[in-house]
Amino acid sequence: MATRVRIEPPNQLPSSGVTPIKYKQWKVALKIFLQQTPEFREYYPGGKYTNWSPLEDNPHRIDNLADNDTPPPTSDRTEHLAQRRINLETFLGIIARYSDEGDFDDIMEKSSSIEWIFNLHERRYGIQKKGRYFNRIDTIRFDKATMSDYHKFYMDLRACFKSNLRKEGDTIKYKNGQKLDQDERISPTTECLIIYMALERIDPRLPTEIDRIFGHRMEEDTTLIDLQNEIFTYIPRALASLDREDTDLNAYNLHHEQPVQYYAPPPQQVQHEQPSVSAMYGRSYSSRPPARPSGRTYSKNQYNPRVAAVNTSRVMKSCKLCQALDLPPAVFNSHATNYCKKRAQLQQIEIEEQSVPDDSTYNIPDSFNHYQEQQAEEDQD
């Protein structure tokens, strides 16, 4: 025995705040609800009465039966025509009931097709699909404070893009007024472009990071659209990794940030001398050759193995003080303890603490006390 499923009507449209996605969902729910009644199917595209006259122009709306509309055996043409008019009145009343109350009169008195009603709604909510309204796709932005579902954001962006596709019969002006013979569809390349747009709007760093992780898999026939589920699942890990790298880099730059010092010689060292004769000819005035240096010497830019060894040993050391303070590895591996700026700061705190009276307290970080104990053990060794 077949069971009948009860389908609820859609919610009434509000007076404002309807997005293209929400309106599309409302239209689908309305169509499913209305087409439960076979008589209402005739007023949708593809039916026998897709167009009718506005009530203010024609009280009957439908003047005559369609050529392919044959009355049932139990009814004549006049009765059948009257029933079609009643069904249309009921059809429009249901749509007006679940539309905004401000559109009720226009739907009942001025409508001429179901598409006319949809255009009325789109004008009210500013979600038209032609001309300048294509730019409304720019309003779909990812808000990190309120959004957490990355795949849903991509689907919303794609749905908005898809709603702007042209329909069969639309005129394409730049192609000399050519009319489309079928509905426009999203191409595979455009599908990949939409994914790229979604990644860039979530975080500008993501396209490069996704290419680094998934680039080796996109060979020959594999594209972004084939890996979309894996990509949007991986986004939280990618963002966490990028944020961690930025934090370490900022900490490293902050620790090594030093003001630039410019050296200016004292006024007494500046001598205003007259140009010599040698300066006029561009060569030294003395005819004696320079003395040959004795022994091995090293210029400023020449390689010295002993100096290089000392510098290498310094670079390889890590700062135990910064490590004790739980700073990132990029910080305490970048310098030796002897060159740590925080060492001088903590020593100053210790000096100030010694000068404070006994009845007062001054807190020294435990990490610095631990650092002093390590230094004492190394000195004993």
**Confidence check: pLDDT of 323 > 60:** yes
Q: For residue range 333-344, list pLDDT tens digits in order.
A: 777 777 777 776
Distance separating alpha carbons of residues 152 and 223, to the nearest angstrom: 20
Q: What confidence category does residue 370 fall into, taking pLDDT thresholds of 50, 70 and 90?
A: low
**Confidence check: pLDDT of 272 > 60:** no
What residues does 179 pair with on adjacent strands? Answer: 171
Q: What confidence category does residue 348 fall into, taking pLDDT thresholds of 50, 70 and 90?
A: low
Answer whether 350's CB lies under 8 Å from 364's CB.
Answer: yes
Range of weakest confidence among 33-47, 144-158, 255-269, 337-351: 255-269
Global pTM value:
0.50
* Burial of residue 198 (number of CB atoms within 10 Å: 0-12, 13-18, 19+): buried
Answer whether 65's CB lies under 8 Å from 80's CB.
Answer: yes
Among 166, 213, 158, smallest CA distance to 185 is for 166
DSSP assignment letter at 344: H
Non-local (6+) Cβ contacts of 8 within 8 A are: 33
Look at residue 296 in the predicted model and tell me its pLDDT: 52
Answer whether 134's CB lies under 8 Å from 126's CB.
Answer: no
Q: For residue range 62-72, list pLDDT tens digits in order.
A: 999 998 898 88
What are the boundaries of each domain within the chain? 20-128, 132-167+180-244, 308-380
Identify each DSSP E strand in the chain by its residue range. Answer: 171-172, 178-179
Q: What confidence category does residue 190 fall into, taking pLDDT thresholds of 50, 70 and 90?
A: very high
Look at residue 129 in the predicted model and tell me its pLDDT: 65
**Confidence check: pLDDT of 108 > 80:** yes
Q: What confidence category does residue 321 fall into, taking pLDDT thresholds of 50, 70 and 90?
A: confident
Q: For residue range 47-83, list pLDDT tens digits in order.
A: 999 999 999 999 999 999 998 898 888 889 999 999 9
In this predicted model, which residue has the larger pLDDT, 266 or 142?
A: 142
Torsion of CA 77, 79, 81, 86, to 10 degrees: -170
**Confidence check: pLDDT of 360 > 50:** no
